[in-house]
Structure 1
Amino acid sequence: MEIPIPKRLKKIWDLWELRSFLILSLSLQTILIVLSPLRKRTKNDWIFLTLWSAYLLADWAANFAVGIISNSQGDNRDCRNKNGNIDADLLAFWAPFLLVHLGGPDTISAFSLEDNELWLRHLASLLFQSVAAIYVFLQSLPTNRLWMPTIFIFIDGLIKYAERTLSLYRASFRRFKDSMLKPADPGPNYAKLMDEYRSMKEANLPTRIETIKEPERGTKSVDRVKEGELTDTEVVLHAYRFFETFKGLIVDLIFSLRERNQSRDFFLERNYKDAFKLIEVELNFIYESLFSKVVVVYSSLGYLCRLISFALVVTSLGLFYCVDKTNFRDPDVALSYTLLIGAIALDVMAFIKLITSDWLFVRVTKLPDVDLKEPKRYIDSGGESSNGYFGRFFHLLFRRWSESVLCDNLIFRSVNPRSKFKEKIVEFFNLTTFLDSRKYVKPKRFTEDLKKHIFCELHMKSKMADDLYTAKEISAAKGDWTLRVESCTEFLPYILEVDYDQSLLVWHIATELCYNDQADAPKTDDEKKHREFSKLLSDYMLYLLVMQPQMMSKVAGIGQIRFRDTCEEAKIFFAGEFEDWKKKEIVEKIQRKACAAIVDVNTEVKPVMIKGDRSKSVLFDGCILAKELKEWNTTSGRSKWFIMSKIWVEMMSYAAINCRASAHAQKLSKGGELITMVWFLMIHFGLGDQFQINEGHGRAKLIVGT
């Protein structure tokens, strides 16, 4: 049974079907080139949703339009029964533009790491779409008046699509790893050496084998550590040097002692601003290597292809302008000009990106000679000093990551639950994660004070980690190292005798209860700072545990189950009496009252003695820890907030070093994560297990005679 479609609507569809998809394809390319640079600078869900939709629709729209054009070709040159009397010459002229669109902009070749693994599919699509465009072109011969500009656009489309396919191939996991592997080293020829050794022995000649160590490589000027602050130029150039050395982290490669010592010595001489700026630029290089075309474009062949591509489009515009267009409809001529000018505009935007990129900068600039006497001043290019709407807007355009952390809170969730009915609807449509991120997750600024605090903690640990064994021991600590150093061993059971995820939840609850205790408010500015550090890092680590389980998969254990059980116990505890508070009080007061109610519970007997181990809730374990922290007095004069802030940095460091490298890399395209910054900072400080103990192997030498 056919669905009746009004002839008027069918006529409109036939008239605008192809034209609409051409305009849609060009519009999607514009969205991609405008929005794709923002995805590394913001955590805005709506930008990601728009970009993701445009990325998926762009290929579909271009492929669909190519199919329409191919299907339209036949014996009738005017194609009057299809596509609203579009001349066959124009159909052949439009088809190559879709190849250009399939190539995509330089700023985004892949939306996620998984897209890079589909490079073979894009190669097949390149072949099929090229054949389709050639078929359409051949059908328009021999009377095609636009044959020359059509060929030029076709070549441009081949270049753009080939660049994208090659970019995906080179960013695929296996190829990316292979590109960094050194040539195979079989070592000394054991069989030949032993054969010669046996021959000498049989001839009764005094023979021995000595191992000669490899000679030390000479120290380069860039290996000497520059003291003082770095200029903007030095930040970019040193970051690129470290990128070339440590990009193998993404594919789980290991590094030599020499590489560790070079990086560690360099970062030990840096201040916190320079260190984080270096890591931001370095991670930006990694992001663009994995998710854009830079590896292909920023090469001698890439520059040549860019020049040829732009010249072909401009020439095509000139040739189309000179062609007799008497038989062409005015809307089709206007659409052709739109496609040409759009292609030129996209190339101009790509050219602006090319000449302002760090990649071109490092290829035309060399590191200055190391000056160990007079440090140069580093010019801050924004940060928290950027005030006003326009200041924040320009800072958004030029920053290298979101510079924010997302925070979640167990107590806040528990006192603001969804109703049972809403919860069932949300679970039915699988919207729990999305709606939770809108309701419970809040962005917080990554402040300069917190940046300095994290840097100082890792800097201090790096100075103690002269050898790899100490470095690994420090990196394996998840809060216990800090407790031992600060002589707070009474709290060690809350870290060493429980799993990491349980420890994280217990300390999160204890931090929240202490934070909302107005009777024990901090008295000094320094104490207030560490209190805020503890609160932010506590909420951030809970966010990672609950909302980003892929980043915590190696350390989370049954963290999701513990979190759900704890939330459920808290909801039951808060049910009833808190309903009236929600109607009268603001959120902050409700949360303070909720924390006070938890602290008021008698906890003389441990919860496990009452409840057993079936329920994994740790709500009142956190309450017990909070009470112990409140009563704790230290002989060192350190406040509990100072100790807790150090513990949270250590917990985050432990999670960072144990997070899968692919999870770190994936987050680079979604505004970046603080835990990734901490991971790279630890590696540059020589902390972690990515370094091998032996730098190389010796060479054997057969010595005959005494």
Structure 2
Amino acid sequence: MVNPIPDSVREVWNKWNVRGVVLFSLSLQAFLILFAPFRKTTARKLLILLIWSAYLLADWAANFAVGLISQSRESNSSDSSAQDNPNLLVFWAPFLLVHLGGPDTITAFALEDNELWLRHLLSLIFQAIATGYVFMQTIPDNKLWVPTTIMFVVGIIKYVERTRALYLASLDQFRDSMLKNPDPGPNYAKLMEEYASKRDAKLPTKIIMIPEPDKESKPSRTAVKKGKLTDLEVVQYAHEYYQTFKGLIVDLIFSFRERDETREFFYERDSLDALKVIEVELNFIYEALYTKVEVMHSKRGVIFRFIAFGALAVALGLFHFEIRKTGRFEPFDVRVTYTLLLGGLSLDVIAFLMFIFSDWTFATLINMSDQESDTQNMSRRPEQEPTVQESAGTQKKSFLKSFVSSILSIKKPRWYEYETEFGPETKVKHHVLITPILLRRWSRTISVHNLIGYCLKKRPSKIYQVKSWSRLILENLISFCGIHLVINKISELINTVIATVVFCKDYIVRNLGSNKEIQVLLFPIQKVMGVLGFLWNITCKVFGWIGSFLLEFFGLEDLIDEIRFLSHEPFTKELWDLIFTEVRRKSEIANDPETVKRISSARGEWFLQDRYLRVDRNKLMDYVVNVDYDQSLLLWHIATELCYQTEPETAENCINRKLSKMLSDYMLYLLIMQPTMMSAVAGIGKIRFRDTCAEAVRFFKRRHLEQDTVKNACRNILSVNTYVKPIEVKGDRSKSVLFDGSMLANELKRLEDDEKEDKWEIISKVWVELISYAASHCDAKTHAQQVTKGGEVISFVWLLMAHFGLGEQFQINEGHARAKLIVGK
């Protein structure tokens, strides 16, 4: 039988298979250590897809290379260079164990990967056996056995680090790490025996309960600071509250003492300080669940990392010495080996720098310094002067804090202020978060999706027309260097050329189009162009049909819709101020579990029941109380869009109008494109969305609005008479809420004249309650999953509500340390 693979191809494969895969594996490690942190700073699908591909390929490449090396030792390969360099190939095998250990910046791509730690443990055992088997085959003739053994130790350390990081981040272990020591409480049996004996002796006896010691005095490290927080204090408090509230991820409950402490802290904060603390806190959650940070910030982790780095440097030195001594190896393979050694050292140096300048390191160092200082102060009597050693320690601590603060100031959020003009003297300011991607802790964007725009096959238009940080820098640089003058000249030249071509074309058609000889010459060309155009149209239709079939067959329609009909809005200070103010206002009256539960379960009715609101509440309450959550969300989304598109923007309603639109589109994005996250509250939201879209598309076709603007489409929807409720005409077979949303929009438009200026405030605050309801009822694990995709605003709301004591996770009342019998009156 003829071999279908040509001999030339086989020779290239036999020569380059091991070398190519080993270098490819090293390239994947470099890519992951540099780009994996961008998962938390961007929501772009393309970059996340690249990181996901590299994450999967990294393990495959390392495993595959170990197999190839093992096979090359047992088969009579035609690769002569491989036969001349068996010891060098074996030296590469431990490097693949290092690669299987993965970079520090990513151990798991998804939360479920942490649950596979046992599989990685078994893989560690089998890969170590395979690598050891390959190595033992070369004994005792292996001249590189010492550096190979050293690299084998390094590989084991790296792989164990990853396996332990996965184990610590698995949900069961994560929950166990939060559990405190068992607390049996006061010795009830002994107390009752003593109590009974006293009663039998006719002695007057009573039982008093002694409260917990920590209720008497609060530790100094948890003292609430007044006023603005420094960048260092933001990280310190975020680390402290992370240690307390990371149990939210595994649905642990907390005491009311912890609730009171965090509420007291956040009552003293303004919205921006609260945003900074929550931002860093979510960053800690990301690093604990998806990186090696928990392993690396332990004493054993630091010790073993220094051992691994030192061993790698020693292996490089021994290899270099052996090469200079013998010089019997293939030169190219020697260069590959140097690449692996130097690449491994470089990746460790990069990982070490990331380790040093991480928020986790800063918080740990400063907290250790503070504890040491507190210990010294407690051991010294008040009248004693500080010793020289203590003074030196104070100066060292001050220098450390100054250095850390200067580094953290680089990473702080950056806001860009721009103005919307409504006349020569009327301007409205907006503040947009534009932190550069290298300095971000989350994506700082909000994904938005729009129902009516989707039905018209139009991408959502930008609410905030703000230039990116990089574009602002580029424009300023161009203006400073005078390059804009050159660009203007080039643009003018291009416009002149285009105008000349158009003029020549018009001249030919106008003056030569009636010439019969010219027509005879052009006739074949016109026919050919017509045939080519026809074939092009047919080809496009065929490929379009094939593409639609494949997308439907593989279930990729939702992914394509997410790419085509999704837009990203910048996060604004005004939006966070609105959310922070409303959550804080509700927290101030949530002083008992029943009120907390009612507030957490509100979906708009809490605000509509406010006594100062003068609108007709009953008509609006029907759209939040008597409907399911997903139905209410779609109703308010449609009503918000209809009002937004058909009413002019003014200086009075500008802020709340934009915020209402943004929250409306964001919540629809969560409902339709994040079904896992919203599964607890979504209900049949996807069915209602599809039925509503079907009715909207039919309505637009009937009125020939398929190619029209969203604004005109909204006007046509509002023009339909809704004197009779749609359910009375259509029944409940169809779940469409298109014209129910139109009825809600008309109710909002019919507010009294003196309330019109508050209409957008009403809409925006109803949306805050809708997002608050979803945040507190979504599965906590989904919030932890979203931090790997750039983060979601709803996760910020979730943590903010927890810190303000809103939620059902606070259920433990004040306990008692012990009970005591008192004899006598």
Q: Distance in 2 between matches of 1:120 and 1:326?
A: 43
Q: What's the offset of the Cα at 1:633?
A: 1.6
Cα deviation code 1:357-410 (max 9, x no counterpart): 11111122149799xxxxx999683423399xxx99971011100000110011
Q: Extract unaligned runs of 5+ from structure 1.
A: 371-375
Over 3 Å counting, the alpha-carbon distance change for 1:325 and 1:621 in structure 2 is: farther
The 5-angstrom pairing of residues 81-480 of structure 1 reads 84-202=82-200, 205-215=203-213, 216-323=215-322, 324-366=325-367, 381-385=412-416, 395-416=436-457, 425-480=550-605
Q: What's the offset of the Cα at 1:8?
A: 1.4
1:14 and 1:82 in contact (8 A); partners too: no
Residue type of the alignment partner of 2:562: S
Partner of 1:15: 15
The 5-angstrom pairing of residues 621-640 of structure 1 reads 621-633=740-752, 638-640=757-759
Aligned to 1:538, which of 660, 664, 680?
Answer: 664
Tell whether 2:648 aligns with 1:521: yes
Over 3 Å counting, the alpha-carbon distance change for 1:212 and 1:222 in structure 2 is: closer
Cα deviation code 1:607-640 (max 9, x no counterpart): 0000000110000000001011111126567521
Q: What's the offset of the Cα at 1:564?
A: 0.7
Q: Distance in 1 between matches of 2:589 and 2:652?
A: 25
Q: What's the offset of the Cα at 1:703?
A: 4.2
1:72 and 1:82 in contact (8 A); partners too: no
2:234 and 2:276 in contact (8 A); partners too: yes
Give the stretch that moved more between structures: 459-468 or 174-183.
459-468
Q: Distance in 1 between matches of 2:176 and 2:447?
A: 35
Q: Distance in 2 between matches of 1:393 and 1:221?
A: 36
- SS of the residue aligned with 1:554? helix
TM-score by length of structure 2 reads 0.79
Over 3 Å counting, the alpha-carbon distance change for 1:192 and 1:693 in structure 2 is: closer
1:256 and 1:692 in contact (8 A); partners too: yes
Partner of 1:661: 780
Q: What's the offset of the Cα at 1:311?
A: 1.0
2:433 and 2:571 in contact (8 A); partners too: no
1:17 and 1:83 in contact (8 A); partners too: no
Q: Distance in 1 between matches of 2:718 and 2:253?
A: 48
Partner of 1:559: 685
Residue type of the alignment partner of 2:351: A
Give the stretch that moved more between structures: 207-216 or 36-45.
207-216
- SS of the residue aligned with 2:736? coil
Residue type of the alignment partner of 1:466: N
Partner of 2:398: none
Over 3 Å counting, the alpha-carbon distance change for 1:679 and 1:351 in structure 2 is: same
Tell whether 2:631 aligns with 1:502: yes
1:91 and 1:136 in contact (8 A); partners too: no
- SS of the residue aligned with 1:405? strand
Residue type of the alignment partner of 2:30: T
Q: What's the offset of the Cα at 1:300?
A: 1.6
Over 3 Å counting, the alpha-carbon distance change for 1:382 and 1:139 in structure 2 is: same
Q: What's the offset of the Cα at 1:212?
A: 3.7
Cα deviation code 1:135-162 (max 9, x no counterpart): 1111111121111111111111111110
Q: Distance in 2 between matches of 1:194 and 1:441?
A: 67
1:280 and 1:677 in contact (8 A); partners too: yes
- SS of the residue aligned with 1:385? strand
Residue type of the alignment partner of 1:458: V
Q: What's the offset of the Cα at 1:301?
A: 1.5
- SS of the residue aligned with 1:700? strand
Aligned to 2:819, which of 677, 700, 703?
Answer: 700
Q: Distance in 2 between matches of 1:692 and 1:37?
A: 36
Q: Distance in 1 between matches of 2:728 and 2:751?
A: 24
Q: Distance in 1 between matches of 2:349 and 2:84?
A: 30
Cα deviation code 1:476-534 (max 9, x no counterpart): 111111111134413101100000100000000000000010xx3243x2411100000
Tell whether 2:774 aligns with 1:647: no
Q: Distance in 1 between matches of 2:200 and 2:559?
A: 78
Flag the structure with larger Rg: 2
Partner of 2:491: none
Q: Distance in 2 between matches of 1:423 and 1:329?
A: 53
Q: Distance in 1 between matches of 2:582 and 2:458?
A: 37
1:80 and 1:86 in contact (8 A); partners too: no
Q: What's the offset of the Cα at 1:425?
A: 4.6
1:36 and 1:51 in contact (8 A); partners too: yes
Q: Distance in 2 between matches of 1:598 and 1:392?
A: 35
Cα deviation code 1:589-612 (max 9, x no counterpart): x10111011001111000000000
Q: Distance in 2 between matches of 1:116 and 1:82?
A: 43
Q: What's the offset of the Cα at 1:680?
A: 0.5
Q: Distance in 2 between matches of 1:540 and 1:305?
A: 46
Over 3 Å counting, the alpha-carbon distance change for 1:685 and 1:89 in structure 2 is: same
Q: What's the offset of the Cα at 1:682?
A: 1.0
Q: Distance in 2 between matches of 1:480 and 1:75?
A: 75
Partner of 2:794: 675
Q: Distance in 2 between matches of 1:193 and 1:608?
A: 66
RMSD over equivalenced CA pairs, Å = 2.6
1:386 and 1:395 in contact (8 A); partners too: no
2:415 and 2:434 in contact (8 A); partners too: no
Over 3 Å counting, the alpha-carbon distance change for 1:3 and 1:202 in structure 2 is: farther
Q: What's the offset of the Cα at 1:695?
A: 2.2
Residue type of the alignment partner of 2:436: H
1:16 and 1:84 in contact (8 A); partners too: no
Over 3 Å counting, the alpha-carbon distance change for 1:698 and 1:140 in structure 2 is: closer
Q: Distance in 2 between matches of 1:310 and 1:445?
A: 42
Partner of 1:685: 804
Aligned to 1:591, which of 680, 689, 710?
Answer: 710
1:41 and 1:671 in contact (8 A); partners too: yes
- SS of the residue aligned with 2:107? coil
Over 3 Å counting, the alpha-carbon distance change for 1:475 and 1:83 in structure 2 is: farther
Over 3 Å counting, the alpha-carbon distance change for 1:112 and 1:146 in structure 2 is: same
Tell whether 2:553 aligns with 1:512: no
Cα deviation code 1:229-286 (max 9, x no counterpart): 1111111111111111111111111111111111111111111111101100011001
Q: Distance in 2 between matches of 1:148 and 1:705?
A: 80
Partner of 2:508: none
Tell whether 2:692 aligns with 1:573: no
2:43 and 2:790 in contact (8 A); partners too: yes
1:272 and 1:452 in contact (8 A); partners too: yes
- SS of the residue aligned with 1:179? helix
- SS of the residue aligned with 1:701? strand
- SS of the residue aligned with 1:106? coil
Identity of aligned residues (%): 52
